Amino acid sequence: MSTAKGLPKYNTREEVDFVIIGSGAAGGVLAKELSTNAFSVVVLEQGPYRTAADFKHDELDVIFENELLNHPGWNDPQTFRRFETETAVQMQGDPPPAYYARGVGGSSVHFTANYWRFHQSDFKERSLLGPMESTGFADWPISYEELEPYYARVDWECGVSGQPGPFEAPRSRPYPVPPMPVKSSGVLFEQGARAMGLHPQPAPLAILSKPLNGRPACVNCGFCMGFGCEVNAKSSTLASMIPLAEATGRCEIRPLSTVFRIETNDAGRVTEVVYLDSKGQQQAQKAKAVIISANGAETPRLLFLSESSRSPNGLANSSGIVGKYLMGNGHSVTQAAFEHQLNEYKGVQVTRIVHDFYENDPARGFYGGGGMDARPFLDSTPILHALTGLPPGKPTWGPEYKKMLRHYFTRKMSVLGSTTSVPLARNNITLDPNMKDDKGRPAIRMTYMDHADDLAMANFLQDRAVEILGAAGATEIWRDPVEGGTIQAHLLGTCRMGNDPSTSVVDKYHRVHDVPNLFICDGSSFVSSGRGQPTMTIQALAFRAAEHITTFARNGEI
Amino acid sequence: MTISKNSRRDFLKSSGSVVGASWLGINMPLILSASQTAAKNKEAGASFKNISTEESVELSALADQIIPPDETPGASEIGVVYFIDVAFGGFMSNRAPMFRSGLKELQQKVQTAYPDIDRFSELSLEQQTEILKSAEDTPLFGMLHFLTLCGMFCYQATLGIVKMQAGT
């Protein structure tokens, strides 16, 4: 594991052009773009600098011990409650409510790599559908057409495999590499979906099917979801962007650096970023401008921690909406078993998707839309299969249990439905008033309960999944209950972008309304949730933000 | 996306809520170390370090009830008891007292049901199964169930299911 990979080493007392907080899906792109554009860049990452050689097929460490999620230096708990009237508690025995990876590359290291683009409608649903009372339902200040060139850059520069589908918005370039080979789950899902009159398509994935940009193709090891890629075929920023940033000689990646405050001066400009280094020593890096790309939970936390007499409710929070409108994408899981072996434990998770239900349909009686995919899900690794993979009512130990593990492990698949999340002010990230981490920082407190329409959409997709799996010939089908989510891997909307400073935190260029030399670019910038799989859009936003920030800097407008 | 609550609930149910709480707070490199050490100890025929020989006999019987031998190896043959031994010396050391008190209660249950027999391991397989059915909801069973599956299928022994597969 590398702990000091980046060159050069900037002096903390010398002002660099940019400090980027977070090296994940957005931070990695911004680091590469801005250093390529000749700016000096320091990236502060709270996790370690792992490389492909550090990743492993170890289900215990990675899935059960949260090796990629835990803070590397100290205990950093989180609390959860459904509603603001409740007292938030730490969920003992559960993964953290805000589920993100710490390490260079951030959650792009451990994600499943589903890379749908948003549709045109995602950016303007408020105009298309009208208002939703008591919600933050709003249009984005940008359109799909404005973002499309940057989606294409993600495809080609980060590396996305795929093939255009029937419902996809217009694209300026083809995919750089073809879709991944279809798996048994994809074949069955496609057969079932076509029998239902639907239009299944190959899944776009940020995993290379062919070599691209000096990186190798996937070897189908099967350890994608939750794991780091051991061959760099997964297009994390660790594999795709960070090496290019470092190659400029102008970007220093500073791992094991946990930011806890952004300082501002009397003029209301940020001046330096205060953090604890790998030895637990307090440091402060001076910068001309700061970009926060810490994710939709850590970003608002940091803004709250950076309160001052000028910003008593938190930095960048004159609107009072920092942390609000958290969206996680609802989901449903439908499991099935087949007569013959599927052997889903090999290969990537998802090879076929259905977008027939992506758009809102008033005939359903509720707002929302969603995408569906076929995958092994929790049956791709043996301990999770042993703990969660058998149909309800089966033995959980003994001779029959062992026989069933053997039988079902190779005969299972699941269909996942991913849905819209209505933006609600009551769903939010705040600082916990009681819980602190080992260094005295207030813990992340998540308050979250899905909107009734989100749950209705998840149930709708589950009904369709049952039909598809039945048409595909499943011998057994069972549903995981659709309930409000308590753990969110998609952390969206908590510093939303907009033109009005009273209802948004950043403008359409990701500049904070309140602070001219502070930018925020990550999932927190989202205005709506899409239908799941947000990372493609996070990265497109980052490419676009980098271009505008470069222009501002060159014109002396920061 | 959200993580399946149902799956998590199954996990906690399977592993026992006490284990679920402690399992996530422990030092992860030690788990890998445990599985590696357990594999080496098994290969070398090493003695146990953190459990007594008597306890190892009981653990073997319990683990083989959970994953019994058939045409493919059961849990004890895989080396699960070595994994549990290493676990009690490291990342699960704070659970060793619970294991011992739980085992004592189980033995009392055995003695009550079968006055002529002292230990779980001395029961016939059918008697063991009956006793365990009445102990499914105890923290001891939850912990051992989880540790047995971990020892059976984790990293060093991750081909456990594949080995079973090969037997079909």
3-class SS letters over B111-157: HHHCCCCCCHHHCCHHHHHHHHHCCCCCHHHHHHHHHHHHHHHCHHH
A92 in contact with B at a CB cutoff of 8 Å? yes
Determine if residue A467 is left, alpha or beta; phi over 0 gives left, psi from -120 to 50 gives alpha, anything else beta.
Answer: alpha
Residue where the block lists tokens 């003029």? A267
Which is more confident, B90 or A13?
A13
Q: What is the pTM of this model?
A: 0.92
Chain A contact probe: residue of B2, B138, B153 with most A CBs at under 10 A? B2
CB atoms within 10 A of CB A435: 17
CB atoms within 10 A of CB A427: 27
Q: Helices B80-89 and B139-153 sit at what angle, rounded to 10 degrees?
A: 110
How close, in Å, is residue A418 to chain B by CA atoms?
Answer: 7
Q: Which structure tokens are listed for A504?
A: 């948004």
10-residue mean pLDDT series, chain A (558 residues): 62 97 98 98 98 90 84 94 96 83 98 97 98 97 98 98 96 98 98 98 98 98 95 98 96 97 97 95 98 98 97 98 96 96 97 98 98 95 90 94 96 97 98 96 97 98 98 97 91 98 98 98 98 96 98 97
Sequence-separated (6 or more) residues with CB below 8 Å from residue A500:
none
Q: With a cut of 70, say whether residue B25 has pLDDT above it.
A: no
Which residues in chain A have their CB less than 8 angstroms from residue B150's CB?
60, 64, 383
| Cα Rg of chain B (Å, integer) | 16
Q: With a cut of 60, say whether residue B34 has pLDDT above it.
A: no
Which of B11, B31, B168 comes nearest A60 by C-beta? B31
Which residues in chain A have their CB less than 8 angstroms from residue B153's CB?
59, 382-383, 386
**CA separation for the pair A537, A539 (Å, rounded):** 5
3-state secondary structure A347-380: CCCCCEEECCCCCCCHHHCCCCCEEEEEECHHHC
Q: Which structure tokens are listed for A455?
A: 């749950």
How close, in Å, is residue B92 to chain A by CA atoms?
Answer: 13
- Per cent of chain B over pLDDT 70 is 64
CA-wise closest residue to A135 among A450, A543, A425, A520: A425
CA dist A222 to A59, A100, A170, B149, B152, Å?
A: 12, 21, 32, 20, 19
Closest residue in chain A to residue B22, using alpha carbons only:
A93
* pLDDT at B88 (0 to 100): 86
Determine if residue A459 is left, alpha or beta; phi over 0 gives left, psi from -120 to 50 gives alpha, anything else beta.
Answer: alpha
* pLDDT at A62 (0 to 100): 86
B158·A328 Cβ contact <8 A: no
**CA separation for the pair A274, A148 (Å, rounded):** 36
CA-wise closest residue to A39 among A557, A546, A483: A546
* pLDDT at B92 (0 to 100): 77
* pLDDT at B35 (0 to 100): 56
Q: With a cut of 50, say whether residue B13 has pLDDT above it.
A: no
> Which 42-61 residues of chain B touch chain A by CB within 8 A?
none
3-state secondary structure A17-69: EEEEECCCHHHHHHHHHHHHCCCCEEEECCCCECCHHHCCCCHHHHHHCCCCC
Which of A99, A383, A397 comes nearest B3 by C-beta? A99
**CA separation for the pair A533, A308 (Å, rounded):** 36
**CA separation for the pair B42, B121 (Å, rounded):** 21
- What is the band of B41 on the pLDDT scale with cuts at 50, 70, 90? low
A482 in contact with B at a CB cutoff of 8 Å? no
B67·A95 Cβ contact <8 A: no
Residue A18 φ then ψ, to 5°: -140, 135
**CA separation for the pair A365, A372 (Å, rounded):** 20
* pLDDT at B32 (0 to 100): 46
Which residues in chain B have their CB less than 8 angstroms from residue A399's CB?
68, 70
Taking residues B65-88, report their average pLDDT.
91
**CA separation for the pair A499, A270 (Å, rounded):** 22
Contact (Cβ atoms closer than 8 angstroms) between residue A251 and residue A245: yes
Beta strands in A203-245 (DSSP E): none
How close, in Å, is residue A343 to chain B by CA atoms?
Answer: 11
A59 in contact with B at a CB cutoff of 8 Å? yes
CA-wise closest residue to A20 among A516, A507, A518: A518
Helix runs in A425-496, H state only: 452-471
B3·A378 Cβ contact <8 A: no
Please list the residues that pair with A506 across neighbouring strands. A497, A512
Residue where the block lists tokens 């502060």? A44
Instruction: Determine how β-strand A476-479 pairs with β-strand A442-447.
Output: unpaired
Q: Helices B125-133 and B53-66 sit at what angle, rounded to 10 degrees?
A: 80
Q: Which structure tokens are listed for A414?
A: 């699941």
Tell me which H or E stretch contains A396: none
Q: With a cut of 70, say whether residue B4 has pLDDT above it.
A: no
CA angle (A99, A101, A104) in 5-degree steps: 160
Going from N- to C-terminal start, the domains of chain B cover 18-166
Taking residues B117-126, report their average pLDDT.
97
A72 in contact with B at a CB cutoff of 8 Å? no
Residue where the block lists tokens 């809102």? A360
Determine the residue type at B158.
Answer: T
How close, in Å, is residue A76 to chain B by CA atoms?
Answer: 11
Length, in residues, of chain A: 558
Which is more confident, A30 or B7?
A30
Lowest-confidence segment of A219-228, B21-30, B148-157 by average pLDDT: B21-30
B21·A66 Cβ contact <8 A: no
Structure ipTM over 0.95, yes or no: no
* pLDDT at B20 (0 to 100): 33
> Could you tell me how many CB contacts below 8 A there are between chain A and chain B?
146
Which is more confident, B38 or B83?
B83
Q: Report how many helices (DSSP H) and strands (DSSP E) chain A contains, helices first.
A: 12, 16
Residue A281 φ then ψ, to 5°: -85, 140
How close, in Å, is residue B53 to chain A by CA atoms?
Answer: 24
A58·B20 Cβ contact <8 A: no
Cis peptide before A423 (omega within 30 of 0): no
Which residues in chain B have their CB less than 8 angstroms from residue A333's CB?
4, 6-7
